[in-house]
Amino acid sequence: MAEIMEANPDVRYLVRAGWPVDPMLTKVTPHLAEQFTAMAAMGARRYRGKVSPEVTALALQSSAARRKLYEEGKYQPAEYGLIIKRADLLRWADRWRREQTAAG
């Protein structure tokens, strides 16, 4: 992502939206929470989008665990968005590169 921003100075933000960046996934299906967790570490700002039959269907179609929690009233799929400012992403990338170089 950082390389794309570095090569395109007019790109000011990175945006990701959809149910896969729902912060509830860290508890419901942690293996899918990587996008949210990684982008949050880069300084992403989160906003909640809509709850709709379409979002619910997409979130539940491939997971018995999410369906069960939904049926029990413990999980409501929602669309979320993450926005990362260019400066935040590039700052994170610089730090990550320095850490990788130091680690050898």
pLDDT given for residue 104 in this prediction: 76
Q: Is residue 101 part of a domain?
A: no
Q: Is residue 62 part of a domain?
A: yes
Q: Is residue 95 part of a domain?
A: no
Pure H helices in the chain: 2-7, 25-28, 34-41, 53-60, 64-71, 86-103
Residue 16 phi, psi (nearest 5): -135, 130
* Total of domains in the chain: 1
Containing structural domain, residue 11: 2-87
What is the pTM for the complete model shown? 0.74
Note down pLDDT in tens along the chain; length 104 residues. 888 889 999 999 999 999 988 888 888 888 888 878 888 888 899 999 999 999 999 999 999 999 999 999 999 999 999 999 999 999 999 999 999 999 87
* pLDDT 10s digits, 19-29: 988 888 888 88
